[in-house]
């Protein structure tokens, strides 16, 4: 089979049923998994991007964008649930792809997931630091900017961002059971604050703010109208990222064949309902144009300021000024659970890849006392902590959901493959209406990917090229399923993938520069061309040598 060798189902079952001091401890039940999913889904996306999307792309129709994004997640979630019930092993989409589409595709998916978790944890940590500064200022406590921002943002080091990464990593090193209890408490707090916002805000809804519900397109693709709703769906999809993190905890779940589908689908359902109601109230309390500009980063605060009665001068006096501080406090705690679960998902994907020999054994070492991959958690604590401390927020936040959309697309495709190649493998949950549901998931995710900005595509292609380099240098030579390095079958396909990605570097670089204007910075264009030239040369040399 060469580079497309598939992991035998018998090996996956043995891995799922393994027990002992050198295995992960099974402590999570169905409601712990639901809390895990809700904990990571409800976070930065809901509290930050909803206002920006409503103001710039959708208007009040942001609820439709949430519905479309949720539909794509639902299709993917149904496919994830089938795999989680038949392959209850840590690693999420990476493991599922390894069992159905082969090693090389699995590596690409796993590498995408690592990017998602790393950037998400970094971005949310920086945002957590900023919200902490705002909260403390409300208490008349002022932290020096030099210690709360990176050098590119006018400071020296972002100590609060580094601190929260260290704290959440220590929770994970200590054990999944304790971190699950903490996550459950945080989820209760977040959901409670959202419900309070909805209940209090409902009485201040002005139906005039919903007119027009779908603003007319400005003539620019993605600015209002139907294309704006689709662009909005692609962006708010970021708010749903994380339900796949539930599947990374498969080997720490009691009765995973039953509980994994429950955790994935129920957490997705709960968050979809909360998101749509939240967005409906937010755009009903005040006109969507109020969320434009820098203020749109904190849409909840703007909405709360409009929950009141106008005085004689026409200025609205908020009836619930205390709610803003409570919201900020909830966001601080809520971001903690997001950071913790993204760090958990990151380490579990690397754990699976290391088990398979595609990464060094360091990442699969299990601490005998805590039964967690403590060494891996420590390494990611340092890497993500340093990124959060020294990388500017605008750079860390630029990478969006495109890698996960690709992973979801391939998971949906994998269901079609597994139904044909493994029809007799027992599974406690089956994706309904196959092939309709998987095909719908593929089309929905691809559609949202096409509406993402060009610079997002550049970063995805660059990251995939870096991952391919690591696979060529280490992974394919140390695979536990098949040894042989450069002598393994499938080298022409690997070389063609490398050349294709190199060509995509040029295409996406030119596309991005055309979008922003040729007089703007050409940094990304230059980086794209450098990567394209070096990798074209390398993979053409590999082809010539063969």
The DSSP secondary structure of 10-53, one letter per residue, reads: HHHHHHHH--STTS----B-HHHHHHHHHHHHSSHIIIIIHHHH
Give the Å distances, CA to CA, from 67 to 219, 271, 381, 438: 24, 11, 35, 18
Highest averaged pLDDT of the listed ranges 52-66, 216-230, 307-321, 414-428: 52-66
Give the Å distances, CA to CA, from 257 to 84, 89, 372: 7, 10, 21
What are the φ/ψ torsions at residue 318 (nearest 5 degrees)?
-60, 135
Helix ranges restricted to H, 140-255: 159-174, 176-202, 225-236
Mean of the pLDDT values across residues 491-502?
92
Of the listed ranges 17-31, 76-90, 174-188, 531-545, the least confidently predicted one is 17-31
Pick the closest to residue 79 from 89, 91, 87, 68 (CA basis).
87
pLDDT of residue 397: 52
Counted residue by residue, the chain has a size of 546
pLDDT of residue 328: 76
Q: Where are the domains of the chain?
A: 9-452, 456-545
What are the φ/ψ torsions at residue 317 (nearest 5 degrees)?
-100, 110
Of the listed ranges 28-32, 106-110, 282-286, 507-511, the least confidently predicted one is 28-32
pLDDT of residue 138: 73
- The answer to whether the beta carbons of residues 282 and 54 sit under 8 Å apart is yes
In which band, very low, low, confident or very high, does the pLDDT at 90 lie, cut at 50, 70 and 90? low
Mean of the pLDDT values across residues 493-499?
92
Say yes or no to pLDDT of 294 above 60. no
Q: Considering the chain, what percentage of its residues have pLDDT values greater than 70? A: 85
Q: Estimate the share of the chain in helix, then strand, then coil, as percent rounded to the nearest 5.
A: 75, 0, 25
* Residues near 421 by beta carbon (within 8 Å), at least 6 away in sequence: 100
In which band, very low, low, confident or very high, does the pLDDT at 414 lie, cut at 50, 70 and 90? confident
pLDDT of residue 214: 92
Q: 3-class SS at 222?
A: coil
Mean pLDDT across the chain = 80
Mean of the pLDDT values across residues 514-543?
90
Give the Å distances, CA to CA, from 221 to 23, 234, 450, 451: 51, 14, 12, 9
pLDDT in tens, 246-273: 665 655 667 666 676 777 778 888 888 8
Mean of the pLDDT values across residues 77-97?
74
Cα dihedral sign for 99, 104, 109, 111?
positive
pLDDT in tens, 180-200: 566 667 778 778 878 888 988
Say yes or no to pLDDT of 26 above 90. no
Q: Which residue has the higher pLDDT, 150 or 103?
A: 103
pLDDT of residue 177: 52
pLDDT of residue 448: 80
In which band, very low, low, confident or very high, does the pLDDT at 27 lie, cut at 50, 70 and 90? low
Q: Which residue has the higher pLDDT, 499 or 127?
A: 499
**Predicted TM-score (pTM) above 0.75:** yes
- The answer to whether the beta carbons of residues 102 and 6 sit under 8 Å apart is yes
Say yes or no to pLDDT of 221 above 80. no
Structure tokens at 452: 């993402």
Distance CA 83, CA 422 (A): 12
The CATH architecture of the domain made up of 9-452 is Up-down Bundle (1.20)
Distance CA 355, CA 366 (A): 11
Cα dihedral sign for 170, 43, 37, 415?
negative
Say yes or no to pLDDT of 426 above 80. no
In which band, very low, low, confident or very high, does the pLDDT at 244 lie, cut at 50, 70 and 90? low
Distance CA 3, CA 400 (A): 29
Measured CA angle at 316 (ends 313, 320), to 5 deg: 145
pLDDT of residue 343: 85
pLDDT in tens, 431-490: 888 889 999 999 988 888 887 777 778 888 998 999 999 999 998 888 888 876 677 888
pLDDT of residue 470: 93
Say yes or no to pLDDT of 400 above 60. no
pLDDT in tens, 342-371: 888 778 788 888 888 898 888 877 777 767
Of the listed ranges 33-42, 245-254, 284-293, the least confidently predicted one is 245-254
Q: Which residue has the higher pLDDT, 126 or 16?
A: 126
Q: 3-class SS at 310?
A: strand
pLDDT of residue 454: 79
pLDDT in tens, 376-385: 888 889 999 9
pLDDT of residue 91: 55
pLDDT of residue 180: 58
């Amino acid at each position: 089979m060469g580079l497309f060798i598939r992991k035998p189902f018998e090996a996956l079952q043995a891995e799922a049923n393994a027990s002992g001091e050198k295995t992960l401890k099974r402590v999570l039940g169905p409601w712990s998994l639901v809390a895990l999913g809700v904990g990571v889904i409800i976070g930065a996306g809901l509290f930050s991007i909803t206002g920006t999307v409503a103001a710039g792309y959708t208007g009040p129709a942001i609820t439709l964008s949430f519905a479309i994004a949720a539909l794509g997640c639902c299709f993917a979630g149904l496919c994830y649930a089938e795999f989680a019930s038949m392959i209850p092993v840590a690693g999420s989409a990476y493991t599922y792809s390894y069992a159905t589409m082969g090693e090389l595709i699995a590596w690409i998916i796993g590498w995408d997931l690592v990017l998602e978790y790393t950037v998400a944890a970094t971005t949310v940590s920086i945002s957590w630091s900023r919200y902490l500064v705002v909260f403390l200022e409300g208490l008349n406590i002022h932290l020096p900017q030099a210690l709360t921002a990176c050098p590119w943002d006018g400071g020296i080091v972002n100590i609060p961002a580094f601190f929260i990464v260290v704290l959440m990593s220590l929770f994970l090193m200590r054990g999944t059971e304790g971190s699950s209890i903490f996550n459950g408490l945080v989820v209760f707090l977040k959901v409670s604050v959202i419900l309070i916002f909805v209940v209090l805000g409902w009485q201040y809804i002005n139906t005039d703010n919903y007119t027009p519900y779908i603003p007319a397109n400005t003539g620019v693709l993605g600015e209002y109208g139907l294309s704006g709703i689709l662009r909005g769906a692609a962006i708010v999809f970021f708010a749903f990222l994380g339900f796949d993190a539930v599947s990374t905890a498969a080997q720490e779940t009691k009765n995973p064949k039953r509980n994994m589908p429950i955790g994935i689908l129920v957490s997705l359902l709960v968050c979809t309902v909360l998101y749509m109601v939240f967005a409906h109230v937010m755009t009903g309390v005040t006109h969507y144009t109020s969320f434009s500009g820098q203020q749109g980063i904190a849409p909840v605060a703007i909405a709360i300021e409009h929950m009141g009665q106008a005085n004689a001068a026409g200025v609205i006096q908020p009836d619930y000024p205390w709610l803003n501080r409570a919201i900020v406090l909830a966001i601080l705690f809520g971001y903690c659970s997001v950071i913790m679960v993204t760090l958990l998902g990151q380490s579990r994907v690397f754990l699976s890849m290391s088990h398979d020999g595609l990464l060094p054994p360091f990442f699969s070492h299990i601490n005998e006392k805590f039964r967690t991959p403590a060494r891996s958690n420590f390494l990611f604590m340092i890497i993500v902590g340093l990124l959060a401390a020294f990388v500017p927020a605008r750079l860390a936040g630029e990478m969006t959901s495109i890698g996960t959309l690709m992973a979801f697309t391939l998971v949906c495709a994998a269901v079609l493959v597994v139904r044909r190649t493994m029809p007799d493998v027992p599974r406690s949950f089956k994706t309904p209406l196959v092939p309709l549901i998987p095909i719908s998931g593929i089309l929905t995710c691809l559609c949202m990917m096409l509406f993402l900005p060009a610079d997002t595509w550049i970063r995805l292609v660059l990251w995939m090229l870096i991952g391919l380099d690591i696979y060529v240098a280490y992974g394919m030579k140390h695979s536990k399923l098949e040894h042989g390095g450069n002598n393994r079958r499938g080298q022409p396909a690997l070389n063609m993938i490398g050349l294709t990605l190199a060509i995509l570097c040029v295409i996406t670089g030119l596309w991005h520069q055309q979008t922003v204007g040729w007089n703007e910075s050409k940094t990304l264009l230059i980086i794209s061309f450098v990567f394209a030239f070096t990798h074209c040369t390398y993979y053409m040399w590999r082809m010539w040598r063969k």
